[in-house]
Amino acid sequence: MKIKLLTFIISILLGCTIANAQFADFLNYPLTVTPHESPDSTRGHFWGYMFGNYYDKLHADSGRRGNTQYSNVPQGANAFSLQRIYLGYDYFFNKQFSVHVVIAHEENADNASVSKINVDANDNRSFYLKYANMEWQDIFKGSRLSVGAITTPSFAITEEPFWGYRSIDRTIMDMKGITGSNDMGANLGGKIWRSKDADGKENACLGYNIMVGNGLGAVPDNAGQAYLGIFTVWKKYYGDLYVKMLKDKLVLDIYGDGRTLQWTPFNSNIITGRIFLGYKTKNFNIGAEYFQQIQKNMAVELSGPGVPVGGDTTNNTQEGFSIIGAAVLMRDKKTGNSKLSLFARYDFFNPNVHFNPQITYGEDISINNLVYTNISNSIFETYFVLGFDFQPIKQIHFMPNIWYDGIHDRFNYTSPAMWHPYDYDFVARITFYYQFFKN
């Protein structure tokens, strides 16, 4: 079934290559925002966007076992949901120096397992500081330094510039919480090599990003200190190398990050690696990525074949694979802007590559006062989303789509009452996305 579904999605995307499509240019990153004025402008401007859904949960997994957006929503539930609001301000002092700030409201009201949904004591929507940073262009030739609350190189190339449908869903690493999209720290990025055509336009490049951060996302450092204890000792390190070729049509991105959690009583760390390959033309884009994360000494084995008396800790490996794509089917005859597009995505996620149903695992592990839960997860998931994007004008999107998450459980429960065979979550949605600027 998975092979047939994957073949179906790919055939739809490739079949649309004759469409007259136009996608946003690939963005050099990390960028907190995409500037909507010339960098040499000496004035600031506000911008923003919002997106949400009307959803109907048509079918629910009998065990509510997934960890995706609608996993804990009961069958038959339906609601209007406002998932994200971003309000940003950019100020350009000159071609080299700029500052950026973004406040955000992001709710999880459509996920019953999440208690905090960015609301105050009166249940009114609240905002928090998402980004606040300074960017120094050409700190040395071809480089940029960003300092403050900034985007990480984790999936900046895949989620916004290439996938382009964050309003539909996060890309696989973001969705599964493999690493964060924002952090407090410093990033040095730039291009090692560039090639230009006869008109002086870049047609190929080799770029990089090197970042160090607290590893806490938007959580302030003083709150993090109380939460993690010694987080100021162990920073998170990010590295990224990307290549653009064939007049920017082909993009290859290699990414990794790592963080030590503790040295005693045993060494624990998390190391992540990812590779992404994407191809886009004027008519369509399609990309694929694979990631693997090793969580050293974070899986707790209590008993079973080969497990020492009294239990032991061992490594856990999780991995995922995703195919993303979009194609424009119709454009506005006057403006040339996209009018009707098709998008699709398929994911496979395995949270425990070496899971052994004969071993009894612990449910959680405490490291430096932070409890990591459900490390030894017996479930792997297959996900897809498919929909259309209608744009009456460039800044307004209405996107009917179907959302599916298949649940596969590898654990052999001894009690029949606890056994949940293959099942799935299925949601029908209309997603809306509005931009607060004219681009």
Number of domains within the chain: 1
Q: Is 30 left (phi over 0), alpha (psi -120 to 50) or beta?
A: beta
- Return d(Cα 429, Cα 387) in angstroms, integer: 9
Residue with tokens 């009114």: 124
Residue with tokens 């940029």: 144
In this prediction the pTM is 0.86
Q: Which residues of the chain have pLDDT under 70?
A: 1-42, 108-117, 222-232, 411-420, 438-439
Distances, alpha carbon 323 to alpha carbons 158, 283, 347, in Å: 11, 17, 7
| Half-sphere exposure at residue 97, Cβ-oriented, CA atoms within 13 angstroms | 1
Q: Residue 355: its pLDDT value, please?
A: 87
Q: Residue 60: its pLDDT value, please?
A: 94
Between CA 288 and CA 292, with CA 289 as vertex, the angle to 5 degrees is: 155
Q: Which residue range(s) make up the domain with 12?
A: 2-435
pLDDT digit string (tens) for 345-387? 999 999 999 988 888 888 888 887 777 887 888 888 999 999 9
Q: Checking DSSP bridges between strand 268-280 and strand 396-409, what pairing results, if any? A: unpaired
Q: Residue 229: its pLDDT value, please?
A: 53
CATH of the domain at 75: 2.40.160.10
Distances, alpha carbon 19 to alpha carbons 16, 22, 46, 390, 394, in Å: 6, 10, 34, 15, 18
CB 21 within 8 A of CB 282: yes
Q: Residue 10: its pLDDT value, please?
A: 44
pLDDT digit string (tens) for 60-115? 998 888 878 898 889 999 999 999 999 988 888 888 898 989 999 988 656 555 55
| Nearby residues of 135 by Cβ (< 8 Å), 6 or more positions away | 32, 97, 98, 99, 100, 144, 145, 146
E-strand stretches of 94-175? 97-106, 128-137, 143-151
Q: Residue 390: its pLDDT value, please?
A: 96
- Return d(Cα 235, Cα 215) in angstroms, integer: 6
